[in-house]
Chain A
Amino acid sequence: MGSDTSSAHLLVQAAGLGKAYPSESSSKRRWRALARLLAGRRPSLGKPVLQGVGFEVRAGESVGIVGVNGAGKSTLLKMIAGVLEPSWGQLQVNGRVSALLELGAGFQPEQSGLENIYMKAALLGISKQQLRQKMDQILDFADIGEAIHRPVKQYSSGMVVRLGFAVVASLEPDLLITDEVLAVGDESFQRKCIAWLDKYLANGGTLLLVSHSTYQIRRLCQQALWLHEGHLHMAGDVDQVTQAYSSWHESQQSQDQEEEKSFDASTYQVKSFHLSVNKQQNPSEMALGETLCVELILHSPDGREPVAGVGVTRQDGTPIYGVATQHDNAHGEQIDTHTFRFRLRFSDFQLLPGQYLIHGHALDPEGVRLKDSVQSALTVTGKVRELGIYRLPHQWYV
């Protein structure tokens, strides 16, 4: 880590930062762009992808960046990493910066993983001797076995990220920049990375993290920036920013759903689907061990009671649990001729912290055909160090 980790030490200082890519592609326009660049002027630019962004990062801080696709997150990180020139504004970056931008981390696809490690170290001015001392550590962290001798172009995306992170982790940068890298590796590797990041931050390291997972950002960062359509929409404490971002997302989602779904009275339908935790309606998150209630109101075109189903999946759709009224011989409450209400309670919800989707399904009364589905995202929070997705009831005994 940096020798100077006092809170006043500025690692990144950005003011009025903006970026636009050149618009021209025809040969004639490219000659004109060349002339302008040589004259020290800006070539004609397209629509800005980033505008007027200003913020500071001090040594020891960890800053998360959230925003939808195309908000300018990667562009901002690339400028800080020094691979992209800002079109406007000032940017000052101090200290040793190590960046994992998207996939690949700048690997040479034709070369083996091992050669790429040497290459990456050379880029950062680390001698072969210093690197040899760290090699075991890197190979151990990456844990890709014999594949290290194969060209990187044959690697799976997960392996590339493993290798990239392992190299970066060994270099002990003052400022670590990562862009969505944790989303690619498998679960165990993600945990390894997060454990490493915890240690890095505890030792005074500084982190800039782009992630679509607000959970990861809250887990690792104290500060957050929310970029929206190229502007800095909100900056500050991580909880405030991510909460505002999540609720904005939900309002977008419900808008989308309303637009998308037209109610079709001729079939079994989900009329409404609500989650509640501790009387709070539609929470975006809950703590491990709280009670989750699900309310599902279904429409029946013929007045027969439909089968209601509730499922829990991971964010990527991996099923965890699913149950329908017919499994338990349960019945809903008939509100009127065509409307049935079903309520389901998960007491002591023991899914480990992470992001999940809760699904509500309407099936025909025979429970054979799935007629309609809705879903709602739910983040489970809590500080636990157990692994996996579910806390199995257990006791240690002698």
Chain B
Amino acid sequence: MNFSFFNQQLQREISGKHRGSSPLWILLQPLLLLAVYSFVFTQIFQARVPAGLDSGFVIYLALGYWPWSAFSESVLRNLSVINEHAALIRKVAIRRDTLVLARVCGVFILHGLGFLAVLLVLSIAGQSVLWQFLPVAIVLLLLLALLAVGFSLLFSAVQVIVPSISHMVQPAMLLMFFSTPILWAPSMLPEQYQSVVQLNPMAWWVGAMRELMLAGSWHWHLGGIIFLVALFMVPLLGYWVFHRLSPHFEDYL
């Protein structure tokens, strides 16, 4: 691993220069989104938080939405990461997984900061956020980042050989978004679907994050085991597939 190259790529990802936007938006955008969501869900839909979590809906949403955004954006933006760096890959021998890793780290750092800003604003606005559990929340975010690295390696490599995969990954991510209790609460589901949702590794993660930061509690159940299995399998699979395919990227770019 070439750390100076990684650092350099990470700086590019964070500075957002290649996207032509200023770093100020890193903090502004999540706060604007927060304003939109709190208006829509508290004024229009009058959404309710499930019983047991004594909090407003907006903080309930925020604790799931920002980590999800980091995860989803990492995977989706990495679909094209190899093609974006085709000029480099064709002419310079580099470890190509560095590009993927730098992008995931960049996205998680940006969204992590946005997440903190949102929690801070909500906390100031009177929501009770259990700040003492922040270190555990950060560990949870790191685990999520690892899962994102796995999916990103997998899809970015396959995308080079089979470009049409990106048309499947995008709807799949949308499906995963709606099957994760981010906008809704599991208790709103009919009985028979409640156990199905647990099969989604993200469902446990979002639930765990909320319980931790709002109630200070921690529950293991089947979903947690599934999350851990996914956390172990997906990065391994992604790494294996990426390294099988990456020597051949140049042939397909």
Contacts and interface: CB of A to CB of B under 8 A. Distances in A.
B161 A83 contact: no
Given A83-B89, A125-B5, A30 B161 contact: yes
Contacts of B158: 34
Task: State the majority secondary structure of interface residues on B.
Answer: helix
Contact of A81 (B93, B161, B163, B241): B93
A97 B93 contact: yes
Interface in B1-23: 2, 4-5, 7-8, 17-18
Contacts of B91: 81, 83, 99, 101-102, 104-106
Nearest to A86: B247
B132 interface: no
B6 to A, nearest CB: 9
Contacts of B2: 122-123, 125
Interface string A58-87: 000000000000000000001001111100
B39 to A, nearest CB: 37
Interface residues of B, number: 28
Given A83-B89, A99-B91, A38 B162 contact: no
Given A31-B162, A123-B2, A38 B87 contact: no
B245 A118 contact: no
Contacts of A101: 90-91
Nearest to A128: B4
Contacts of A27: 162, 164
B92 interface: yes
B191 interface: no
Interface in A112-129: 118-123, 125-128
Which one of B2, B94, B244, B252 has the greatest number of beta carbons of chain A within 10 Å? B252
Contacts of B251: 21-22, 84-85
Given A38-B241, A40-B244, A125 B4 contact: yes
Contact of B250 (A34, A38, A43, A78): A78
B4 A122 contact: yes
Which one of A33, A37, A43, A125 has the greatest number of beta carbons of chain B within 10 Å? A37
Contacts of A123: 2, 5, 92, 94
B222 interface: no
Interface residues of A, number: 39
A303 interface: no
Interface in A15-31: 21-22, 27, 30-31
A118 B17 CA distance: 15
A122 B99 CA distance: 13
A83 B87 contact: no
Which one of B5, B18, B89 has the greatest number of beta carbons of chain A within 10 Å? B5
A85 B250 contact: yes
A325 interface: no
A304 to B, nearest CB: 59
Contacts of A165: none
Contacts of B161: 30, 33-34, 37
A122 B7 contact: yes
Contact of B5 (A31, A104, A107, A122): A122
A56 interface: no
Nearest to B161: A34
Nearest to B92: A106
Contact of B92 (A33, A83, A85): A83
Contacts of A37: 161, 244-245, 248
Given A108-B88, A111-B17, A118-B8, 12 more contacts: A37-B161, A78-B250, A81-B91, A83-B89, A83-B90, A83-B93, A106-B88, A108-B18, A123-B2, A123-B92, A125-B2, A126-B4
14 contacts: A34-B161, A81-B91, A83-B91, A97-B93, A99-B91, A101-B90, A102-B91, A105-B91, A108-B88, A110-B18, A111-B18, A120-B92, A122-B2, A123-B92
